[in-house]
């Protein structure tokens, strides 16, 4: 029987230290390891190639996602680059038109150098997705729920159709986290996380991981991570594993608050729109209910009165901070158009529905009553 997420997170690497028998895996800061003789390579030789703290984190995340293995990288973006390094030169990649701005920037940058061809498409549109698949992509890039509009696509359907068209599928699972969604179990070949976000959860480091359904792909991913030097540091892996231990608890608390906040905003006439997969009638709420074990801690919304009202709303907040990250202990608000998604040109933002006055909220683990009181302060100012 599969172990439950809370058990995997709490017990990862516990009691595995062969040296001092420490309860938690020790931080192994050394960049290199001692050989017995020059002909017998030890399991750990050089820390760019292989490193015990990265292994402990990769094992825990692989078990949470149901992966054969994967590589811990220095950031979410280096995990994205590592994924793209698996493709043949000049390959076509189908990505969501409303993907994370950094993903958009990376794909566009590589396309500008002639290294790949990027097709951005509304993956919720059946006909548009089918048409894009006719262009013989090597990879379909999914991001569901998407950042910042929380759009949900049917992973099993999209991955199945990609496979039938000869394409591999990767899912950026950063927003859902493995405690709410496991894309490999729904037919994806790769899953990517920015562990900077909820997995670490403490807003004090950068990290990423690329996980693979197949052991052979995991081997290739390790080869490239070492060859290109994309692996993350021992210190970050050690701290991320500590953060991971409380991921299920933090997601549960933040998600419960996000649900209350989404309803609070949706019922207020000063609010023009709320995007949250846990709201009845939200497009994709039914798919989210099927493939996610909860609607998550992220939402976005627009207040009535446009950009100026949005500015007044943000300026009035005291507890919620204006900052562009997500998934941490602290509730953060941002205006994606000028913050997280500024790597996406205004035309592409407009096409994706990322309006200039859209506000994105990453709900943290503060008390929901205090968060709602702060948001009420914002609404009073619009
Ligand atoms: N994927 C998503 C959905 C993100 O929101 C982010 C960062 O905001 C990334 C990937 C990139 O991660 P990192 O900032 O760790 O490079």
104 catalytic? Reply is no
Output the residue whose Cα is nearest ligand 1's atom 13: 76
| pLDDT tens, residue by residue, 290-329 | 999 999 999 999 999 999 999 999 999 999 999 999 999 9
Average pLDDT over residues 133-155: 97
Report phi then psi at 31, rounded to 5. Answer: -85, -15
Residues 374, 313 contacting (CB under 8 angstroms): no
Query: Is residue 259 classed exposed, middle or buried when 0-12, 13-18 and 19+ CB atoms within 10 A define those classes?
Result: buried
Summarised one tens digit per residue, pLDDT across range 85-100 is: 999 999 999 999 999 9
Is 277's pLDDT higher than 90?
yes
CATH number of 247-380: 3.90.1150.10
| CB-CB contact of 228 with 77 (8 Å) | no
pLDDT on residue 344: 86
96 token code pair: 């969501």
Choose among 349, 273, 341: nearest CA to 305: 273
**What does the pLDDT look like over 181-204, one tens digit per residue?**
999 999 999 999 999 999 999 999
**Hey, what CATH topology would domain 5-244 get?**
3.40.640
pTM of the model: 0.97
User: 374 an active-site residue?
Assistant: no
- pLDDT for 343: 83
What is the distance in A from the centroid of ligand 1 to the CA of 194? 5
- pLDDT tens digits for 6-54? 999 999 999 999 889 999 999 999 999 999 999 999 999 999 999 999 9
Residue 41 is among the residues annotated as catalytic for this protein: no
Kindly list the distances between the CA atom of residue 370 and the CA atoms of 221, 256, 286, in Å, as whole numbers in the listed order: 44, 14, 30
Binding site membership of 146 for ligand 1 (Cβ less than 6 Å): no
User: Catalytic: 131?
Assistant: no
Choice among 55, 98, 122, 172 that is catalytic: 172
| Token digits of residue 72 | 């811990």
Where in the chain are the domains?
A: 5-244, 247-380
From the CA of 340, give the closest atom in ligand 1: 8
How far are the Cα atoms of 101, 129, 194, 203, 355 from residue 282, in angstroms, in the given order?
23, 21, 26, 30, 18
Is the N-terminal amide bond of 145 cis, ω within 30° of 0? yes
178: pLDDT confidence band, cut at 50, 70 and 90? very high
Tell whether the model's pLDDT for residue 1 goes beyond 80: no
């Amino acid at each position: 029987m599969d172990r439950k997420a809370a058990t995997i997170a709490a017990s990862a690497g516990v009691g595995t230290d062969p040296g001092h028998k420490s309860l938690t895996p020790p931080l192994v800061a050394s960049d290199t390891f001692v050989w017995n003789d020059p002909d017998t390579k030890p399991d750990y030789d050089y820390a760019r190639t292989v490193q015990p703290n990265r292994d402990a984190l990769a094992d825990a995340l692989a078990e949470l996602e149901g992966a054969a293995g994967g590589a811990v990288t220095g950031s979410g973006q280096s995990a994205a680059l590592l994924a793209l390094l698996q493709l043949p030169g000049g390959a076509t990649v189908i990505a969501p038109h409303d993907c994370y701005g950094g993903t958009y920037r990376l794909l566009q940058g590589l396309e500008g150098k002639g290294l790949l061809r990027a097709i951005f498409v509304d993956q919720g549109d059946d006909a548009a997705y089918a048409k894009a698949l006719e262009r013989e992509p090597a990879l379909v890039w999914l991001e569901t729920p998407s950042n910042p509009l929380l759009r949900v696509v049917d992973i099993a359907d999209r991955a199945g159709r990609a496979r039938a068209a000869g394409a591999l599928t990767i899912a950026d699972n950063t927003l859902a986290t493995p405690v709410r969604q496991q894309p490999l179990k729904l037919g994806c070949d790769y899953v990517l996380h920015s562990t900077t976000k909820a997995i670490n959860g403490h807003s004090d480091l950068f990290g990423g991981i690329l996980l693979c359904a197949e052991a052979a792909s995991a081997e290739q991913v390790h080869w490239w991570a070492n060859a290109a030097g994309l692996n993350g540091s021992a210190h970050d892996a050690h701290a991320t594993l500590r953060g991971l231990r409380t991921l299920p608890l933090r997601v549960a608390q933040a998600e419960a608050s996000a649900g209350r906040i989404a309803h609070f905003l949706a019922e207020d006439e000063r609010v023009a729109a709320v995007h949250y997969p846990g709201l009845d009638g939200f497009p994709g709420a039914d798919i989210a209910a099927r493939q996610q074990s909860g609607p998550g801690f992220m939402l976005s919304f627009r207040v009535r009165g446009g950009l100026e009202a949005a500015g007044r709303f943000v300026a009035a907040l005291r507890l919620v901070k204006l900052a562009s990250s997500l998934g941490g202990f602290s509730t953060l608000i941002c205006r994606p158009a000028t913050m997280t998604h500024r790597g996406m040109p205004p035309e592409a933002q407009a096409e994706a529905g990322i309006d200039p006055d859209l506000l994105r909220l990453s709900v943290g683990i503060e008390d929901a009553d205090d968060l709602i009181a702060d948001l009420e302060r914002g609404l009073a100012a619009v």
